[in-house]
Amino acid sequence: MGTEMPVANLEASRVRLEELKATKGRLGRLVGEARKNGENTEELVNEVQRVAGEIKQLQKLVKKQLNQGVTRKKWVPKPVSIPHAIAKQAQSQPITVEPVGAQNLDAAEAYVAGHPGASIWHRPLVSSFIEKTYGHETQFLCASARDGSIVGVLPLVQLKSRLFGNFLVSMPYFNYGGVLADNPEIAAELLTKAEQWRQELQAGHVELRFCQDNTLGLPQRTDKVSFWLSLPSEAADLWDSFQPKLRAQVRRGEREMTEFAIGGEELLDEFYRVFSVNMRDLGTPVYGKGFFRNLLETLNGEAWLAVVKIQGKAVGCAFLTGYRSRMEIPWASTLRNYNHTSINMIMYWKILEFAVQQGFRVFDFGRCSEDAGTYRFKQQWGAEPVKLYWDYLLPEEKALPKLNPKNPKFRVMIAVWQRMPVWLANLIGPHIVKVLP
C-alpha cells in the first residue's frame, strides 16, 4: 500500500508544472532574440524570473503531495475472465436444430443476451445486417428443446467469390462468433448441421471464431490475439495505473489535439475520410461507407463513432461497440502524417474515459498478430492478451485456409493497392472486402 494525494490534485500540479516549464523555455528564446536585436530585455527577464520562482514553488508542492498525501491503495487492472461459449448444463430433453424463424427470433435474441459467452456479433440482427448490406446467404441455426426453449445457436454466413473461394464463417468481418450452447452435446448437434450446409453449398470449410479453446477436436488456428483491459469505476484510477511514459505520450497528444467528439452518423463523413486513407496506406480494401452507416443503424444505441482533430482537420477515428459489460473497438485509424503528434494516444485515452463513464467493465482493443506493432501498442495500456481460437470444419485431409496478408499470394496485391489513389481504392475496395472474412 502506497501513499499519495488524490490523483486529481497531484495530476493538476504536474500538468501546471509542465505548462510553466514550456513557458519558461519560450520566454528564454524571446530574451535571446531581443538581446540579439539590441532590444530592452528587462521586462522579459523579470517574467522569466517570476515563472522560475513559480516552478520552484510548484516542485515543492508536488514533492509534498507525494510524501504527505492521503493513504490509499493504488488501483491495478484485474485479470480478465474469459466467458465460456459452451457451458456444461445438463440436458434431459431431445433437441432439434433448425434455422431461426420469425416466430422464435425474439427468443433467439434473448438467448444470446443471456449467454455469458456471447458477443454483440452473435446477435440475429447482425446476421440480418450482413444479409441486407451484402446479400450473402446466412443461416442462424437454433437448437431447441422439446418444450420450445432455445439451448444453443450458431450464426453462419457464406462468402463466395472466384478470387477467394467458397466458405462459411461465424462471423465474418468481426472478431467473434462460433457456437453458443448449454453443453457440448448441443454444440455437436449444431456443428453437424453446419457441416451439412457446408456440403450442400459445396463450400471449402466452416470457420468458427472463439476467444477460448472449446476442445472440439477440430483443426485450429491460434495465431491471433485480442487485448482486454478491465476498467475501474473512475477514470482517474485508470490514469493513475499507467506508466509515466504512457501518460507523457497522452499529454503530448492532448497538446496537439484541438477537438474530440463521440457520436453517431453525423461523424460518418469525417470518420470515413480518415479510415479509408489509412486502409489504402495499409494495402487493405476498405468497407464502403454504407457498411458503417447500416451497422450504426442496426446497433442503435450500442455503437458510436469517435473523431479527433488537429486545427479543424480530422486525423484520427474509431468505431466503437458496447454490449453488456464490454466495449470493443473493432476499427481505429490515424493518418500517418500525424503519427508523430501522438494523436492516437489521446484518442485512445478519451475513448477509455468514455468507456468508464458509460459503466463498461472491460475494454476490448481488438485483434492483432503477436509480432505486429499493434500488439505492443495495446499491451502498453495494461491490457491482457486474449488468445483467439479459430476452429475449422474441413473435408478430410484438407489443409487450413491461408487467407491472410502474410500469404505470398497476396503480397503483390497489397503493394499495388498501397500505390492506388484513394478515390479508386474507395471505389473498388467495397466490392472486394465483402467477400473477405
Q: Look up residue 127 and give its three cell numbers.
A: 446476421
The domain limits of the chain are 7-67, 95-215, 232-360+402-433
DSSP letter, residue 74: P
Q: Look up residue 311 and give its three cell numbers.
A: 486545427
C-alpha to C-alpha distance for 7 and 232, rounded to whole angstroms: 14
Coil, strand or helix: which one is 332?
strand
Q: How far is CA 188 from CA 93, 213, 217, 220, 400, in A?
A: 15, 15, 11, 16, 21
Count of helix runs (H) and strand runs (E) in the chain: 13, 15
What are the tens digits of pLDDT across the range 340-379? 999 999 999 999 999 999 999 999 999 998 878 889 999 9
Please name which of 62, 74, 88 lies closest in space to residue 10, comparing C-alpha atoms.
62
C-alpha to C-alpha distance for 225 and 211, rounded to whole angstroms: 9
C-alpha to C-alpha distance for 398 and 160, rounded to whole angstroms: 18
Q: Which CATH entry fits the domain spanning 95-215: 3.40.630.30, 3.60.130.10, 3.10.20.600, 1.10.580.10? A: 3.40.630.30
Would you say 35 and 41 are in contact if contact means Cβ atoms under 8 Å apart?
A: yes
Sign of CA dihedral 137, 142, 146, 150: negative
Same fold, 95-215 and 232-360+402-433: yes
Residues of the chain with pLDDT under 70: 1-9, 67-72, 403-410, 412
Q: How far is CA 46 from CA 21, 28, 31, 335, in A?
A: 16, 11, 10, 42
Residue 384's pLDDT is what?
95
Homologous superfamily in CATH for domain 232-360+402-433: Gcn5-related N-acetyltransferase (GNAT) (3.40.630.30)
pTM of the model: 0.82
Q: Is 195 left (phi over 0), alpha (psi -120 to 50) or beta?
A: alpha
Question: Within 13 Å and on the Cβ side, how many CA atoms surround 339?
Answer: 6
What are the tens digits of pLDDT across the range 243-273? 999 999 999 999 999 999 999 999 999 999 9
